[in-house]
Chain A
């Protein structure tokens, strides 16, 4: 029996409610999901409806359950994270304005790879090692749970890559391909918050088109990361229009 595409798609609701019995039909839909982005996102939305249905059915469990579960957890080894072996498609970076993604150990490993990959494009191994040694704080940031990688294009050219560790209130910024500035001008980073704007430091001079990582601390909810061109030495407040304004998901 062959399924028409429409037929297959209409299974998303039943699938999200675990209402397809185990067998070829469910397998076929599961495979379809891995290829159909819109189906996958529909299933995700439906699962949230399921969550609301579950919360509506909340009931008080027997009190002993807590003790039993915690005791069982204490003697149960946890699974390690799955490490993805698939390279991220490069076009994602160019097309999507910013890409927040997963947190946790897997992400951290990927971010380290992604950032180091960035470095590796521009540096020899020795320089890379030097950068890594100089940025102890940044490695700490990279290993923080919940760290997110964001990339954003900069107006007039270039891309900013940000690793954000929201719970540490820190971020690291690397840029590639920013236009070279005339003497007497610098790039300056800002944390643009509702009540005030604070400087997050100057971008160091680029090497082979890439600026070494800059660490910014004190990132709070509602902050947007900004980048402006300022007179040498930097300014107390931005004096030009930001060429990057990246809202930070803190």
Chain B
């Protein structure tokens, strides 16, 4: 088969840019609404995608994939046909002419689904499902890591998509980003002077801003999970 090399290994198919013409293919109705605006925990997650000249990128498409507010990772179908109630954890939205994107979602909890080895969940309930308090209680006790949403960026000019994480920090400072950095294994490896690019900071009631800078002095930290 063409995708296997002489050694018999299955070698990855290379990435190519999403190009400029995805606009009638990838965006979909409801893509921005991970939850409905009437959801009691609904927040706005928004920002601008900047290029290396500080100009907004009008032809990017941003995806979010995150646990719900209690840290449960959804296995529900329905991301393409929202029913307004089911949390699927996935959203996708193209940037505007200014380079802006907006999701309606919830602040993620620390992911607990699957019970990752090394993460002791208080009370022995590894699923977290149906126990909204479990995530919060264990966060204070034993959960390693800080809550975040996985953000993926595609754009014309990006030959390979970029992964980053939006860590939510409230304006009241109840959870400080520096405390996240002490408990989160990944954050602790990110140079202190670049960590701030991973903050979705509260810019209003129920609103968090997460700008994505593709290149330059304030370049967002992008991750390679293929370590």
Q: Do A and B come from one complex?
A: no
B interface residues with partner A (beta carbon < 8 Å): none
A interface residues with partner B (beta carbon < 8 Å): none
